[in-house]
A = this chain, B = another copy of it.
Amino acid sequence: MTAFRDLLETFDNQFPDRDYKIEIEYPEFTSVCPKTGQPDFGTLTITYTPRKKCVELKSLKLYLQSFRNEGIFYEHVTNSILDDLVAVIEPAWLRIEAAFRPRGGMTETVSAQHTAAI
């Protein structure tokens, strides 16, 4: 878990008996490359089917803004955010896609998914 997990807040899902989908796009993610000290930028897309809880949007924004001055690699940050969100929301499933801006002519996108055990 990251140091920022506690920033995430939830509210009760009022339709727990229906399998519906929530998608949140956040094009303002930024962190710092631990190797070069240079800022990284990316668009996060988080999609999930809630069970008992939904993530509160403002707390999610504050949580994601906390990485602003953190030194962390693409693969690490994507998987760590997935871990935090799954622990707090306990969704039926949750998927995260992180599309980073080009560096050295290359563009990397990392995608990871969690599905709840039945």
Contacts and interface: CB of A to CB of B under 8 A. Distances in A.
Contacts of A15: 75, 79, 112
A14 B76 contact: yes
Contacts of A30: 30, 39
Interface residues of A, number: 44
Given A13-B75, A102-B105, 5 more contacts: A23-B111, A24-B107, A38-B104, A39-B68, A57-B106
Contact of A105 (B18, B26, B75): B26
Nearest to A41: B28
B110 A20 contact: yes
A6 interface: no
Interface in A68-93: 68-69, 75-76, 78-79
